[in-house]
């Protein structure tokens, strides 16, 4: 009897959270703060609680996390893909961060089905360094040589993974070893694998390059709990002496939250030992930080295009400075421009701007006798209700904003090259799932269930 991928994902994400609390104690404080605010919202907002109940997404809130890692080479990306597949996590979406001056492209490994997401929606935003965006050819060759000698999986983990793949499942007696070995991949390393002089050269080229290349593995650089009220969390962080970034990334505060809003506390400056002729030389590195997110409704392709259009209008007026010096002005423009985006679920549904989960109303315990009814007739008759489908993915501009605020203010504004999904998928040795296809299928499944109940 194999351990289910849902159970493996639950156990792995819990182990990851415990490890990160030990390494970054402030993350533990953040979890307590977020849990308190979520409890307050569920106590005072019955509409939000009911939405979660009707979409089977209430219990997942306390364990919901996403993490982020950065990889240096294609073979590492393939290993990570294989490991996460065992836990029921697959590559979804392609993200080009080079447009924001960050030399990586990314995907998110996450569960695909509604039932798997309800069991545990753990996601890992995974970035791959793009060497072709580094202009210094000599440095590029040096980075390539360093990464060529790096192995991020232990021999034990690689052997265990091959055994699991051959058997097509994880036996109960293999679970603990798998999770322990996997967690070790993402631990922080206090000893660098480059000397201080090369580290500084990498750092001066781009801080993220230094973070990817200078260490033995892809340390998790943040874990993100999910909140139902990110504005309250932002204020609570200030009240508790935790300095958040000045601007909450993503759309403005709304009655009906859309997509994803994120904030974070600044990255830690950590002591690092760099190899030298006499042994080790002390220095420091800034990488790991705390992040919080609030997830709203998933937008359709039409809705996403409208969101992007409005965001482009905002950025024609103003872009947020990394130091937060124009935060108030930016938020004012953002809120004003986004007044145009519908802010009721009824209008979002009527204009096909967002995805919804349809379910049979709780007080309906019998089928309607008579002719078949359409979905709209069932809704009008209060036999079926609709609730928002949670957005499970990421926004490139928001991800870049979080990265930049923790990389410092000297990040380049943009790189000349654009995204290359084909190259990413070649490195991954697999395709990435289309987010709109997944949400559309999730919505259609719920519609089919309701129609079958009443019309068959």
Domains of the chain: 5-455 (3.10.180.80)
Cα three-residue angle 270-274-276, rounded to 5 degrees: 160
pLDDT at res. 198? 94
Q: Using the predicted structure, report yes or no on whether residue 106 has a pLDDT greater than 90.
A: yes
- As to burial, measured by CB atoms within 10 angstroms (0-12 exposed, 13-18 middle, 19+ buried), residue 162 is exposed
Per-residue pLDDT band at 29 (split at 50, 70, 90): confident
CA-to-CA distance for 194 and 139, rounded, in angstroms?
A: 13
Q: Using the predicted structure, report yes or no on whether residue 410 has a pLDDT greater than 50.
A: no
Distant-in-sequence, close-in-space partners of 409: CB < 8 Å, separation ≥ 6 = 321, 322, 323
pLDDT at res. 313? 92
Per-residue pLDDT band at 409 (split at 50, 70, 90): very low
* 403 in Cβ contact with 412 (< 8 Å): no
Q: Using the predicted structure, report yes or no on whether residue 430 has a pLDDT greater than 80.
A: yes
Dump pLDDT digits (tens) for 258-291. Answer: 999 998 877 678 899 999 998 999 999 987 778 8
pLDDT at res. 173? 96
According to DSSP, the β-strands at 290-295 and 260-265 are: antiparallel
3-state secondary structure of 433: strand
Nearest to 122 by CA among 257, 37, 14, 229: 14
Q: Using the predicted structure, report yes or no on whether residue 67 has a pLDDT greater than 90.
A: yes
* 319 in Cβ contact with 247 (< 8 Å): no
Q: Using the predicted structure, report yes or no on whether residue 241 has a pLDDT greater than 60.
A: yes
Per-residue pLDDT band at 294 (split at 50, 70, 90): very high
First to last CA, the chain: 36
Q: Using the predicted structure, report yes or no on whether residue 402 has a pLDDT greater than 50.
A: no
Q: pLDDT above 90 covers what percent of the chain?
A: 68
pLDDT at res. 405? 47
CA-to-CA distance for 223 and 264, rounded, in angstroms?
A: 10
Q: Using the predicted structure, report yes or no on whether residue 411 has a pLDDT greater than 70.
A: no
Dump pLDDT digits (tens) for 179-204. Answer: 999 999 999 999 999 999 999 999 99
* DSSP run (H or E) holding 262: strand 260-265
pLDDT at res. 401? 47
CA-to-CA distance for 13 and 19, rounded, in angstroms?
A: 10
Per-residue pLDDT band at 406 (split at 50, 70, 90): very low
* 19-23, 197-201, 204-208, 368-372: the lowest-pLDDT one: 368-372
On average, the pLDDT of the chain sits at: 89
Dump pLDDT digits (tens) for 121-176. Answer: 999 999 999 999 988 999 999 999 999 999 999 999 999 999 999 999 999 999 99
Q: Using the predicted structure, report yes or no on whether residue 370 has a pLDDT greater than 50.
A: yes
How confident is the model over 36-50, as a mean pLDDT?
91
pLDDT at res. 213? 95
């Amino acid at each position: 009897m194999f351990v289910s991928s849902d159970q493996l994902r639950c156990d792995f994400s819990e182990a990851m959270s415990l490890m990160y609390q030990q390494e970054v104690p402030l993350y533990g404080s953040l979890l307590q703060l977020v849990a308190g605010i979520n409890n307050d919202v569920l106590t005072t907002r019955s509409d939000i609680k009911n939405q979660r109940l009707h979409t089977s997404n209430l219990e997942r809130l306390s364990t919901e996390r996403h993490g982020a890692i950065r990889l240096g080479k294609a073979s590492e990306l393939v290993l990570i893909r294989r490991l996460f597949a065992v836990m029921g996590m697959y590559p979804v979406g392609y993200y080009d961060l080079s447009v924001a001056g960050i030399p990586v492209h990314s995907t998110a490994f996450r569960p695909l089905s509604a039932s798997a997401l309800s069991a545990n929606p753990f996601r890992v935003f995974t970035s791959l360094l793009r060497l072709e965006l580094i202009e210094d050819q000599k440095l590029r060759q040096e980075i390539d040589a360093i990464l060529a000698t790096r192995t991020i999986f232990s021999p034990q983990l690689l052997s265990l993974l091959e055994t699991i793949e051959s058997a097509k499942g994880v036996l109960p007696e293999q679970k603990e070893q798998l999770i322990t070995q996997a967690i070790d991949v993402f631990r922080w390393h206090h000893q660098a694998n480059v000397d201080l002089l090369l580290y500084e050269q990498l750092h001066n080229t781009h801080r993220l390059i230094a973070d990817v290349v200078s260490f033995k593995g892809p340390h998790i650089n943040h874990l993100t709990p999910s909140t139902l009220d990110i504005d309250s969390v932002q204020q609570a962080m200030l009240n508790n002496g935790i300095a958040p970034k000045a601007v909450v990334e993503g759309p403005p505060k709304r009655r009906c939250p859309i997509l994803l809003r994120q904030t974070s506390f600044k990255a830690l400056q950590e002591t690092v030992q760099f190899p030298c002729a006499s042994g080790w030389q002390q220095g420091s590195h800034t990488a790991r930080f705390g992040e919080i997110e609030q997830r709203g409704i998933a937008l359709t392709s039409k809705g996403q295009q409208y969101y992007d259009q409005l965001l482009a209008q905002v950025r024609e007026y103003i872009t947020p400075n990394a130091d937060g010096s124009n935060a108030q002005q930016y938020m004012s423009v953002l809120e004003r421009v986004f007044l145009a985006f519908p802010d009721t679920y009824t209008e979002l549904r009527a204009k096909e701007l967002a995805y919804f989960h349809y379910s049979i109303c709780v007080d309906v315990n019998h089928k309607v006798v008579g002719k078949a009814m359409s979905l709209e007739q069932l809704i009008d008759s209060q036999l079926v209700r609709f609730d928002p489908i949670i957005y499970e993915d990421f926004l490139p501009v928001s991800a870049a904003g979080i990265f930049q605020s923790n990389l410092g203010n000297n990040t380049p504004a943009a790189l000349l090259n654009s995204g290359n999904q084909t190259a990413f998928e070649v490195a991954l040795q697999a395709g990435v799932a289309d987010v709109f296809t997944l949400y559309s299928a999730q919505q259609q499944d719920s519609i089919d269930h309701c129609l079958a109940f009443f019309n068959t």
